[in-house]
Amino acid sequence: MKRIKEQTYYDLLEVPRGASIEEIRKAYRREKEIFSSDSVAAYSLLDPAELEKINAAIDEAYRVLTDERLRPEYDRKLDGGGERVFSGEAVGPPPAGESYPLREGLMGIPFPDEFRFTGSSLRGIRESIGFDLKQISQKTKISRQNLEWLEEESFENLPALVYIRGFIMEYAKALNLDPHRVADSYLESFHRWQQSRKH
Amino acid sequence: MVLFSEGQGEGSAGGRRRKSVWAIGGGKGGSGKTFIAVNLGICLSRFGEEVILIDTDLGGANIHTFLGLSFPHRTLSDFINKRVGAIRDVVVETDIPNLGLVVGAQDLLNAANPKEPQKWKLIRHINSLDVDYIILDLGAGNSFNVLDFFLISENEILVVTPEPTCIENTYRFIKSAFFRKVKRVVSHYGVKEIIDMAMDQRNERGIKTPFDIIELAGEIDKSIGLKLEQELESFRPKLIVNQVRTKGDVELGFSMRSAFLKYFGISMDYLGYIVYDNDVWQSVQKRRPLVLEFPQSRASKCINEITLKLIIDKPFLFNSTR
């Protein structure tokens, strides 16, 4: 939580420390647009005096960060002063002209430890990415019927455990998920099913 | 078989699963809160999670209509008016596996305006439900009832459409929620007075932002100032932009996040957007949830994506540089 006066120039422009001049220019244009007097995003939150103050701060940030002499000085001051600097995580929208592609997989976005990869959760992930079973079948060379059974956890119809593990790992790879974690989690259901058959 | 059971009561967490409460709010009527609550609930249930949707729109309940159900014989009114003893008694099953529903009150009197103790009893009972997810569909406006349901949630989700009036209402809602949140944790009369004053935009002391309140409270008592600062840091609403037609509409979420960051000093999570899609209109007309009726529609994919982001609790940042 930082007040405007406590925000670094990088915070103000919402760019990481190592941002290039081009990134800074784009960020500046974006911020100026957001805090323009006719911006729908800002006008009802900030009054004209506050808008003016923010615009002045954004101008100042831009001036320093695009100046090849002032920026290294400012960086040294940040490093030396022990001030909190922007983590570089929260960056604004993509530059103008670029689209917002839906991710084609989830690798890199950690699932919580307690997340269970069951047949239904895998189906949910598949659908959210926009794949149908035909596409997964083409990618994995697993028949559509077997994929359906995997999602339904219809273990009585599926082949032996070793095959199920192979299938599920291929399926996970097709969704860009960690195949080992998915297989371990998914097979817990299989083992429960196996146990229940013994009783 | 009891599909949706209640826990062992307040404070008895033993044996209960970890539950997450999501509230869908935003101030303005017609922004799509109920539509989103229903479809998020269905997406979650398809992940194999047990979900209960609760229509907390006391007085204007209509969530059952989005699910194509007729008005059930058990509703929240029965609980509020003590005709049943536990909230699980008013959970009705839907034809969607793992999804239960509590239909809101439609009474114009008692149930629509529950007294404080009734409301807190309701909140305690909601928290004691033993399911994976509870989704609260909030009513419009900034009444204390709406704000309190919003504030008990782990995921405080705001729905905004790209219209100036809706954006304005959303900010008003956020500010009201923050003021309500901090007012609940302080007992000092002078600080409460400052918070009340801040609600009036043209207050004589020029209090505008949350920082102004924190500073003034800190002057009265440093420990209260610090406490309010912690409250502000823990306040992290999430945003969905609904009915997106243009790239500019998509960017509204980022712009609001940026304005919010400068105003509150904290980040709001932009969960994503839902495209304007004729299929949405058709599904509402048919009284069939979009994600079931038109699973391949663009809007369905947006909702699925948002559900996933919420489940993994890492709203990704649409960041082209990552």
**How many Cα atoms are found within 13 Å in the side-chain-facing hemisphere of B205?**
13
Pinpoint the alpha helices (H) of B265-297. Answer: 278-286, 290-293
- Tell me what pLDDT residue B68 has: 87
Among the listed residues A42, A93, A34, the one whose alpha carbon sits nearest the alpha carbon of residue B164:
A42
- Name which of A92, A111, A119 is nearest B254 (Cβ-Cβ): A92
pLDDT confidence of A119, banded at 50, 70, 90?
Answer: very high
The pLDDT, as a whole number, for residue A1 is 65
Radius of gyration of the CA atoms of chain A, in A:
26
Per-residue pLDDT of chain B (322 residues; tens, 9 = 90+): 344 555 544 333 444 567 899 999 987 788 899 999 999 999 999 888 899 999 987 766 788 888 888 888 888 888 888 889 899 999 999 999 999 999 987 665 555 567 788 888 889 999 999 999 999 999 888 888 889 999 999 899 999 999 999 999 998 899 889 889 988 888 888 888 888 888 777 777 878 788 888 889 999 999 999 999 888 888 989 999 999 999 889 989 999 999 988 888 777 889 999 999 999 999 999 999 999 999 999 999 999 989 988 887 644 333 322 2
Question: Nearest Cβ partner of A34 from B255, B301, B307?
Answer: B255
The pLDDT tens digits of the residues spanning A27-68 come to: 998 999 999 888 888 888 888 888 888 899 999 999 999 998
Query: Any residues with CB less than 8 A from the CB of A53 and at least 6 apart, and which?
Result: A4
CA atoms within 13 A on the CB side of A193: 14
What are the residues whose beta carbons fall under 8 Å from the beta carbon of B288, sequence distance 6 or more?
B68
- Note whether B158 and B175 are within 8 A (CB): no
B31 CB-near residues (< 8 Å, 6+ apart): B159, B160, B161, B166, B242
Q: Does residue B304 sit at the A interface (CB-CB below 8 Å)?
A: yes
A8 touches chain B (CB under 8 A): no
Please give the Cα distance from B128 to B11 (Å, whole number): 9
Average pLDDT over residues A166-192: 90
How far is A154 from chain B, CA to nearest CA, in Å? 15
Report A:149-178 residues touching B (Cβ under 8 A): none
Strand partners, B155: B22
Q: Which of residues 94-123 of B touch A (CB under 8 A)?
A: none
What confidence tens digit (pLDDT) does each residue in A72-111 have?
A: 999 998 887 544 333 333 333 333 333 333 333 444 456 7
Cα(B289)–Cα(B227) distance, integer angstroms: 43
Q: Cβ of B264 under 8 Å from any chain A Cβ?
A: yes
pLDDT at A139 > cutoff 90: no
Give the pLDDT of residue A164.
92
Contact flag A35-B262 (C-beta cutoff 8 Å): yes
Q: Give the nearest chain B residue to A112 (CA atoms).
A: B312
Answer whether B168 sits within 8 Å of A44, measured CB to CB: yes
Q: Is A116 on the interface with B (CB under 8 A)?
A: yes
pLDDT tens profile A180-191: 889 999 999 999
Instruction: Compute the distance between CA of residue B272 and CA of residue B24 in angstroms, rounded to an integer.
Output: 14
Q: Is B276 on the interface with A (CB under 8 A)?
A: no
| pTM reported for the whole predicted model | 0.75
pLDDT at B105: 73
Cβ <8 Å between B250 and A2: no
Q: Does A82 touch chain B (CB under 8 A)?
A: no
Residue among B255, B32, B245, B65 at smallest CA distance from B158:
B32
pLDDT of residue B313: 61
Spell out which residues of chain B touch residue A33, defining contact as CB-CB under 8 Å: 255
For an interface test with A, give the residue of B42, B45, B47 to mutate (most A CBs within 10 A): B47
